[in-house]
Amino acid sequence: MTYSHTLTLKTHYPWTSSPLVSSAPMRLIAASPLAAAVSRAGGLGFLGIGTDTSTFLSLLNEAIATFQASPIPNTPGDILPVGVGFICWGANLSMALSVMQSSPLKPAAAWLFAPRETKDLVAWTEEIRKASSGKTKIWVQVGTVTMALDVAKRCKPDVLVIQGSDAGGHGLAQSSSIITLLPECADALAREQFGDIPLIATGGIVDGRGLAAALMLGASGVCLGTRFLASPEAAISEGYRNAVIQTKDGGVNTARTTVYDQLRGTVGWPETYNGRGVLNQSFRDHESGMSEEENKKLYVDATKLGDQGWGSNGRMTTYAGTGVGLIQSVMPAADIVKEVLTESRGVLARAASKL
Amino acid sequence: MTYSHTLTLKTHYPWTSSPLVSSAPMRLIAASPLAAAVSRAGGLGFLGIGTDTSTFLSLLNEAIATFQASPIPNTPGDILPVGVGFICWGANLSMALSVMQSSPLKPAAAWLFAPRETKDLVAWTEEIRKASSGKTKIWVQVGTVTMALDVAKRCKPDVLVIQGSDAGGHGLAQSSSIITLLPECADALAREQFGDIPLIATGGIVDGRGLAAALMLGASGVCLGTRFLASPEAAISEGYRNAVIQTKDGGVNTARTTVYDQLRGTVGWPETYNGRGVLNQSFRDHESGMSEEENKKLYVDATKLGDQGWGSNGRMTTYAGTGVGLIQSVMPAADIVKEVLTESRGVLARAASKL
């Protein structure tokens, strides 16, 4: 975190606190209630458009209505103070652009993730900048040093989101955690004259300790996904939320796998990706060699169980990161943002007092 | 890191700086030159006895001779200012005890790792305490919250080493990184009244940024393994050391696997363990389905190539953590200890100045 990074983020998102706390653009989960609550608390919330660009207009309009009814002070008039996240291999760029062009307010940021190839990101970056007259800042999520450098060179993004292996939901099947990925990216980018791009750490950050650690590693801010699952604003069932609260020892009770994609039919991800979720009966049956057909049948049956379908003995998918074990209770998203910031300052001040 | 943890460590190892920087008991690699250099620089070096307890006496005597020739000021007269590390599933407790009992100086710490069952740790802990009249403090390495609690209850160790998934060499096949594992262990231990046990973070810590991050997460110190491979004191070939320096993007160019154990015949590890090493031709051939027999034959041939046998296109094993990509050059072990401490203070002070 350098002063220039802090200044860049504060200039682009003037309503936000430093360091920046953002919420992940979780597909189907992060809609206007979550994104707006995070931004209103001084963070930057993201809407999860994901692969289905046909949801973009309604998600955007809902957020616009919220902020038109009650704007955040310090927001430039033509900026919507939330970002929008696209899963590039599945999302439709021209549909995204037409929504963006006709929107009265431009999203503060577009988060681009999981393209088939880096060159697709170049098109997304350039076209979104054009469609928003540069008002929508470009965030690109990467999981390796090579990709960070490649994206920096080809897209000149406004932010790089550095995702480590602890992250919940989708990410690279093979990567390090942010403990080494973040500083290695920071060093490599600085060596290649890209040190001015702010880095946002994600993957395993749940509280103020994680935020403070990310700052030590060179991040200018963080993105939390799993933690916000335990907020009332996350659009998930009680079963999912309960599973998040109940899961402990997150390193052994979650795993990276493609089995949940198979069961849910969310296929099409590039081969290098999978998703981290809480171990459940579907996972164990898969590991024991049950056929995909049989496992899927049991999964479909479980969808009829309502909230009982989740949890370690259930079959419904609980995407969550290894930090799930740190989450003890449900808390409003705004309180999460504030608690994470306050705790990080306390942790830092206590450590500094011993220097 | 609390004041009482710092005090405990400073009382047990009075020659050390705070926060504590230690070097891993890497089997075959961490002998007296490395361990002594780390301790002389204000850290705590460990000798890697590993699974072969018959090496204990000579490794210990070499270290004793070093410190008898040139003691560290502030070391209690009957304490050897280095620790010793045992891989419990393979090491022989009674042999370890007879060496320990007859030794004129007792190692400052015994690091216990990878037992077949936790109850074996109880025997190791109690017997070593008895054999050393409590002078040898007990460090137990764990990789899950469950094991941290179990060990705390049954062994009451002096230190818990919390190993995350980024670590090089052996560790749990399935775990989180220290980003979530450390705070989840800290919280769970505190809830069960074991908050007085200092936690040492390991797995992906390479420099002062990693140390500072570990402190934010609740550690009182750190252990570095991979970083010390790039010191002249590590007992490895130039080929190994060069591979460490050359490997970049540590999250994708290392992997957790059992293939290197198969090739080297280092078998007997409990099923839940594997080791992280740099991807090489043996790994790729294994992934492409080459038989173990054929791969082993090629490995044995490669052992005759000398330093050329290492590296991405080689077949010799380069155990290393994901932090390998952060290592740019070879540096004396003492300078590593000092640089890590100095850098961590700078990182912390800079962040604190922005509060």
* pLDDT digits 0-9 by tens, A121-162: 999 999 999 999 999 999 999 999 999 999 999 999 999 999
pLDDT above 90: percentage of residues in chain A: 96
Residue A227: closest C-alpha in chain B: B180
For residue B140, which of B149, B129, B130, B151 has the smallest C-alpha distance? B151
Q: Does A239 touch chain B (CB under 8 A)?
A: no
Q: Which of B206, B212, B248 minimises the CB distance to A145?
A: B248
Which pair of tokens denotes residue A171? 């990410």
Q: What's the pLDDT tens digit per position in B8-22?
A: 999 999 999 999 999
Q: What's the pLDDT tens digit per position in A53-96?
A: 999 999 999 999 999 999 999 899 899 999 999 999 999 999 99
Are the C-beta atoms of residues B36 and B228 closer than 8 Å to each other?
no
Question: Shortest Cα distance from B9 to chain A (angstroms)?
Answer: 15
Measured at the alpha carbon of residue A229, what is the angle toward residues A242 and B167, in degrees to the nearest 5? 100
Q: What's the pLDDT tens digit per position in B74-91?
A: 899 899 999 999 999 999
Query: Residue A1: which pLDDT band, with cuts at 50, 70 and 90?
Result: low
pLDDT at A46 over 70: yes
Query: Chain B, 290-309: which have a CB under 8 Å from a chain A CB?
Result: none
pLDDT at B335 over 90: yes
Q: Which of A174, A248, A255 minimises the CB distance to B174?
A: A255
Distance CA(B125)–CA(B112), nearest Å, equals 8
Are the C-beta atoms of residues B88 and B120 closer than 8 Å to each other?
yes
Q: Collapse the DSSP code of A130 into the 3-class scheme (helix H, G, I; strand E, B; otherwise coil) and give the result.
A: helix
A166, A172, A175, A180: best to mutate for the B interface, most B CBs within 10 A: A180
Which pair of tokens denotes residue B221? 């110190």
pLDDT at B355 over 80: no
Asked if A146's CB is within 8 angstroms of B351's CB, the reply is no
State the average pLDDT for chain B.
97
Mean pLDDT over A269-288 rounds to 98
B177, B185, B191, B223: best to mutate for the A interface, most A CBs within 10 A: B177
pLDDT of residue B1: 56
pLDDT at B297 over 90: yes
Mean pLDDT over B120-128 rounds to 98
A179, A254, A272: best to mutate for the B interface, most B CBs within 10 A: A179
Q: Which residues of B touch A349 (CB under 8 A)?
A: 352, 355
Which pair of tokens denotes residue A225? 């996904």
Q: Which residues of A touch B217 (CB under 8 A)?
A: 209-210, 213
Query: Residue A354: which pLDDT band, with cuts at 50, 70 and 90?
Result: confident
Return the bridge partners of A202, or none: A163, A223
pLDDT of residue A156: 97
Residue B348: closest C-alpha in chain A: A352
Q: What's the pLDDT tens digit per position in B148-203?
A: 999 999 999 999 999 999 999 999 999 999 999 999 999 999 999 999 999 999 99
Q: Helices B333-353 and A208-217: crossing angle, nearest 10°?
A: 120
Query: Residue B354: which pLDDT band, with cuts at 50, 70 and 90?
Result: confident
DSSP string, A216-282: HHT-SEEEESHHHHTSTTS---HHHHHHHHH--STTTSEEEESHHHHHHT-----TTEEEEEE--HH
Return the H-helix or E-strand segment holding A202. strand A199-202
For residue A87, which of A26, A131, A137 has the smallest C-alpha distance? A26
Mean pLDDT over B228-243 rounds to 98
pLDDT of residue A281: 98
Chains A and B: how many Cβ contacts under 8 Å? 207
Residue A167: closest C-alpha in chain B: B176
Q: Give the start-end residues of each E strand in chain B.
A: 20-23, 45-50, 79-87, 106-113, 137-142, 159-163, 169-172, 199-202, 221-224, 254-257, 273-278
Are the C-beta atoms of residues B167 and B323 closer than 8 Å to each other?
no
For residue A165, which of A255, A81, A91, A242 has the smallest C-alpha distance? A255
pLDDT at A31 over 80: yes
Classify the phi-psi angles of B297: left when phi > 0, otherwise alpha if psi is within -120 to 50, otherwise beta. alpha
Q: Which of B146, B252, B354 minimises the CB distance to A175?
A: B252
Domains of chain B: 3-231+332-353 (3.20.20.70), 238-325 (no CATH)
Q: What's the pLDDT tens digit per position in A3-24?
A: 789 999 999 999 999 999 999 9
